Amino acid sequence: MRGAFGAKLALARGVGALSRLSGRGGGTTLPGRLLLRMAPEAIPRLGAGLSAGSVIVSATNGKTTTAGMIAAAMRAVGRRPVHNRAGSNMSWGVATALLEQRGDEGLFEVDEAWLPRIAADLDPRLIVLGNLFRDQLDRYGELERLADEWATLVAARIGATEFAICADDPLVADLGRDGDLARRPGVTYFGIDDPGQALPELQHAFDAKHCRRCGAPYSYERAFVGHLGHYSCPSCGADRPPPDVAATAIQLDGMRGSELAVRTPAGEVELRLPLPGLYNVYNALAALTAALRLEVPLEPAARALESMKAVFGRVETIDVEGKTVFILLIKNPAGANEVLRTLLLESGQGGASDGLDLWIALNDRIADGRDVSWVWDADFELLAPHVRRVVCAGTRAPEMAVRLKYAGMPPSVIEVEESISRSLDRALADAGGRLFALPTYTALLELRELLAKRGLASRYWT
């Protein structure tokens, strides 16, 4: 049987190589799709070959960045995990990475809905659970149901798998405790302990209003990102678990990133994170927690985070025609709100005193979510007074434009051009020194392809 499986592996690898040669795409899914069609058992079989085990990262927001940070920490101590680093995080993306990379341990970001299945296939040593926000309701269904599926998964794997869990998200934090609120074995919590970073008020898209246990409304002392914060249930007492790894002091510095003081079981550490926003602070805390569980010492792990480059489409910076283009993926209300808050910090700086130049590309393909309703849950109002010009692109560009108009941006600053390429040219021609590009997921892929054609960015991420 090994021979037959080996032949299937060789065929799938060959197809991947051909696909790249023909320049038809990134090849991060096709070989895996083919392999799984020929050999549905490929993931457990190849996964079993990872002698040092594997790590899975799942969350609505921050999977790619968190996994990238964990990879950086592992590389800092000479470890080279097999890793689906281009954000292709359903079964075929995992299969492609397993097929095309060699190593003795695995690091996989996994789509929230695919997590139970891929966890069963890989039998991971550690699972990192970041957050659950409303996202692509046409694909995932209701958030509560996803949380229930995760709860079943965690309960079943306790003892076999360790968990790093965000204490500040009640939807996921509660999964690390049993019926008596006692922490389950192998669970480590991370969270933010700096009250100075609290939002002035709770946001519109607020996804955890009721206690998972008893249904009573949570009482929030403060929130940091969406519904992530310090909460308690006045009825059954299910409050935020005390985090083991906590950011105790945070200084945000616009697009440049932040400075953090972090308390961990392995001691305290200060670091300068080169990625912006509180959402990346959460990603860094998740990564540090995971690194410690994976026996990467604190010091090299922290230094590795300091030298992080942006991962695929998450605050990448590219020079185009003498202008700096900042690429920030937006895909759901909570993630978009963090991007908008970060842009707000930039609005008065770096020659942008007369306002920000934006390019926003709203696509409605399957990987974006076909339902674009979510743009009305994101707080574009924040940016309204700070925009000089905005070009709306993508398959649903006009709906984005209407959203911005009703957020308070004058129609005279809004332009609609659905074509990714023409709209980018228009935005670049009008922009000052900096252009902030906010694409949804498939618009990001199109943008990268376009920039690659122009020789400005590498085409392939595998």
Tokens of 103: 């190593």
**Contact status: 422 vs other proteins (CB under 8 A):** no
Q: What b/e sequence results for 318-335 when a residue is b if at least 16 CB atoms lie within 10 Å of its CB, and e otherwise?
A: bebeebebbbbbbbbbbb
Given a contact cutoff of 8 angstroms between Cβ atoms, the answer to whether 419 and 309 are in contact is: no
Nearer to other proteins, 246 or 375 (CB): 375
Q: Which of 30, 94, 99, 205 binds other proteins (CB under 8 A)?
A: 205
Can you name the residues that pair with 246 across neighbouring β-strands? 191, 263
Q: Cα–Cα distances in Å, from 352 out to 344, 345, 355, 389, 437?
A: 11, 11, 5, 11, 15
The C-alpha R_g of the chain, in whole angstroms, comes to 22
CB 226, min distance to other proteins, A: 14
Given a contact cutoff of 8 angstroms between Cβ atoms, the answer to whether 124 and 186 are in contact is: no
Given a contact cutoff of 8 angstroms between Cβ atoms, the answer to whether 163 and 195 are in contact is: no
Nearer to other proteins, 259 or 364 (CB): 364
Q: Which residue has the tokens 């770096």?
A: 350
**Contact status: 413 vs other proteins (CB under 8 A):** no
* Cα 263 to Cα 60: distance, rounded to the nearest angstrom: 25
Nearer to other proteins, 345 or 413 (CB): 413
CB 439, min distance to other proteins, A: 17
Tokens of 182: 């006692």
Nearer to other proteins, 215 or 348 (CB): 215
Identify the DSSP state of 384. Answer: G
Tell me the DSSP string of 2-16.
HHHHHHHHHHHHHHH
Backbone CA torsion sign across 92, 93, 98, 102: positive
CB 204, min distance to other proteins, A: 6
Q: Which of 442, 354, 427 is nearest to 391 (CA)?
A: 427
CB 7, min distance to other proteins, A: 37
Longest dimension (CA), the chain: 67
* β 387-393/356-361 pair status: parallel
CB 206, min distance to other proteins, A: 8
Nearer to other proteins, 122 or 147 (CB): 147
Question: Per-residue x/- marks for other proteins, 362-401, CB under 8 A?
Answer: --x-----xxxxxxxx-----------------xxxxx-x
CB 230, min distance to other proteins, A: 19
Q: Which of 85, 314, 341, 403 binds other proteins (CB under 8 A)?
A: 403
* Cα 387 to Cα 352: distance, rounded to the nearest angstrom: 9
**Contact status: 215 vs other proteins (CB under 8 A):** yes
CB 392, min distance to other proteins, A: 9
**Contact status: 169 vs other proteins (CB under 8 A):** no
Tokens of 143: 């958030």
Nearer to other proteins, 261 or 367 (CB): 367
Q: Interacting stretch for other proteins, rule CB under 8 A, among 179-187, 290-298, 352-360, 410-418?
A: 410-418
Which phi-psi region, left, alpha or beta, contains residue 88 (left: φ > 0; alpha: ψ -120 to 50)? beta
* Cα 115 to Cα 212: distance, rounded to the nearest angstrom: 20
CB 448, min distance to other proteins, A: 24
Nearer to other proteins, 146 or 262 (CB): 146
Site for other proteins in 108-147 (CB under 8 A): 134, 137-138, 141-145
Tokens of 397: 């560009």
Nearer to other proteins, 264 or 395 (CB): 395
Question: Per-residue x/- marks for other proteins, 175-204, CB under 8 A?
Answer: -----------------------------x
Given a contact cutoff of 8 angstroms between Cβ atoms, the answer to whether 70 and 107 are in contact is: yes
**Contact status: 411 vs other proteins (CB under 8 A):** yes
**Contact status: 460 vs other proteins (CB under 8 A):** no
**Contact status: 210 vs other proteins (CB under 8 A):** yes
Question: Per-residue x/- marks for other proteins, 8-37, CB under 8 A?
Answer: ------------------------------
Site for other proteins in 225-254 (CB under 8 A): none
**Contact status: 430 vs other proteins (CB under 8 A):** no
Site for other proteins in 325-354 (CB under 8 A): 333
Nearer to other proteins, 402 or 456 (CB): 402
* Cα 398 to Cα 462: distance, rounded to the nearest angstrom: 33
Q: Interacting stretch for other proteins, rule CB under 8 A, among 74-82, 313-321, 353-361, 409-417?
A: 409-417
# of chain residues touching other proteins (CB under 8 A): 37
Tell me the DSSP string of 257-322.
-EEEEEEETTEEEEEEESS-HHHHHHHHHHHHHHHHHTT--HHHHHHHHHTPPPPTTEEEEEEETT
Contacting positions for other proteins (CB under 8 A): 134, 137-138, 141-145, 204-206, 209-210, 215, 333, 364, 370-377, 395-399, 401-403, 405-406, 411, 414, 416
